[in-house]
Amino acid sequence: MNNKISFRTNTIKKLIKKYGFVLSGFSKATFLEKEADYLEKWLKNGNNGSMGFLANHFDKRLDPRKLVDGAKTVISLAYNYHNPQKQIDPNAPKISSYAYGRDYHKVVKNKLVKLFKEIKAELGDINGRCFVDSGPVMERDWAKRSGLGWIGKNTLLINKDHGSNFYLSEIIIDVELEYDNETVDHCGTCTKCIDACPTDAISDSGYILDAKKCISYLTIELKEEIPKAFSDKMDNWMFGCDICQDVCPWNRFSTPHSEPDFNPKDQLMNMSKRDWVEITEELFDDLFFGSPVKRAKFEGLKRNIDFLTKD
């Protein structure tokens, strides 16, 4: 590897550390051939449910060079959000811990934009784009290629040292860097996530998720009424679900995040079951200002709460 490429790589690695990302890796921007076959079959089987957008921009989703002219490198990054704190009332409808604080799209995107500006200031006129769970990017697959971890049986990216409680993001740039190697799968014979999923959303052998059965999909993405078949299988989740991560043995290595924006409001954590049942739109707007939960809107969250608490 020539000195210029090594200099670029080391410079970017130093800059990344300034912004608190727990993991980073670089991979060559190319067509994801194996992943294309998997995605095509997954979509053909209807595993995306009503998320039709996942079938859009198929070529762009699989080739970053169609997103950034002359793209040569995908920089994959992970930002920790692990919070062991739980809601006070054990009977209250539950919110996934990733949604406790401010919307990660905005928090992490702000860090990415600043990071990219510094990269350009150090290395010159570089063309690129930043993505945080946005745009047609196969983030887990790029993170896997960049050596951040492996895609586990629960279909989430898992790292031996940090578990899976982190947000993934990417910067696609038009310069070559030193590329990282993929790691190996460490799920082994473990089936904890498969066994624990109350809706059987994960296939018997793992690695395939039927989104139509996933509690996160049912409480966030699904806009129609939740099917009655799930009435006794929601495990009291009203927004998202943490089950397959909570039972994953690798998450015993997760450490609490240090991002103030991800800390929940005290009022949110102290809400009782009755408080949630009686929630008003005004309180919803106040509790979830700038939160990922706003995505469900008041009507959506109320639908979920009513589904969980009806007699």
Catalogue the active-site residues: 133
CA nearest neighbour of 187 among 132, 144, 138, 217: 144
Q: Which residue has the tokens 């294309």?
A: 36
Give dist(CA 307, CA 311) in Å, integer. Answer: 9
Could you give the C-alpha distances from 240 to 95, 98, 110, in angstroms and in order?
6, 9, 24
Give dist(CA 111, CA 100) in Å, integer. Answer: 19
Give dist(CA 296, CA 294) in Å, integer. Answer: 5
Q: What is the CA radius of gyration of the chain?
A: 20
Q: Does residue 165 contact residue 247 with C-beta atoms inside 8 Å?
A: no
Could you give the C-alpha distances from 24 to 157, 255, 263, in angstroms and in order?
13, 17, 23
- What are the two backbone dihedrals, phi and then psi, of residue 77, each rounded to the nearest 5 degrees? -135, 150
CA nearest neighbour of 301 among 53, 50, 94, 97: 94
Parallel, antiparallel, or unpaired: how do β-strands 166-173 and 128-131 relate?
antiparallel
